[in-house]
Chains A and B, each alone.
Chain A
């Protein structure tokens, strides 16, 4: 990557209000450090505690989803240690109305419709509906193996006080880019 590209990227991020940006592989260890850094940044910015907690919660759910499901991954052994790296882009930023948490990761094209319909369903629910669905899933009344209705997405929807949006962009014959942006 040349120096001009790096400068352009930096300027783009500033223009988009990005406070925190990560692009690369994540693991549980990376999540620990990123989560703490996001919290520290929000704290230093004197973010209201409930908002900061919401941002942190959404961030953790998004990263844990990626660790489990990102289709852009690399598995193998490093010495005796099994390694599973999952690629993603993450950003926490500020717009005039508040904060947002964005995640992007590859998923298999064949999973797009299932995930999309799950999210469309969650997106249409009001607070009461979200609460009911949350409970149904926790009770095990909804198949949890299905990505489309994971409790993590219901949690994100509950926490996103200004709503959430999602997009699926085709990458190639096999993969699509799944972008989830929660507004708090």
Chain B
């Protein structure tokens, strides 16, 4: 039987060691299966966060050979025979234990975003072409891999930036055909959208293939430009009225 070598970080609060385990490989096996094998056979207390094992819930985020990935989507057969596979917890958030990090900051960041606000007398007739953009953003499974890989959060520890996930959420609200709130000032001032330098790692790691940068962040940046950096656009908006009610 083929075997894989998994080098897993074990420890609490970012202090521990790497332990290597030998795990037999089954066809179609993913890294999360290997972690479960370790739990069931060697170490029941190995901490890992997971739910569905079908790439739908976005719980099992980790860094596999240095790449932020969902463990349930990382197939073992893409690694070379005998290759040592390093599995680390995601880096950008406080470490809890083994492969688990404390991602609660994201939930607090989410609460800051002004809620969906349709007009009281809204006509709920709208068409597919009006919502194609929004539906792409709503595919997000909140795995927070984009937050993990974003260098503004990861390397510069700038928690005054909402991060790609919440830029996507904001875009979904801003571009909703019936929403009436203007979030541009929020995005510039509290959201820290200017901190994003569109280096696109969020898009590279997104397991739902959302075009985070091109379709969410850049269009939002352009809306912020309309409001704050483009005197001509601002002039027209003032004279002819904004699009929002």
- A-B complex is real: no
Residues in chain B within 8 A of chain A (CB atoms) = none
Residues in chain A within 8 A of chain B (CB atoms) = none
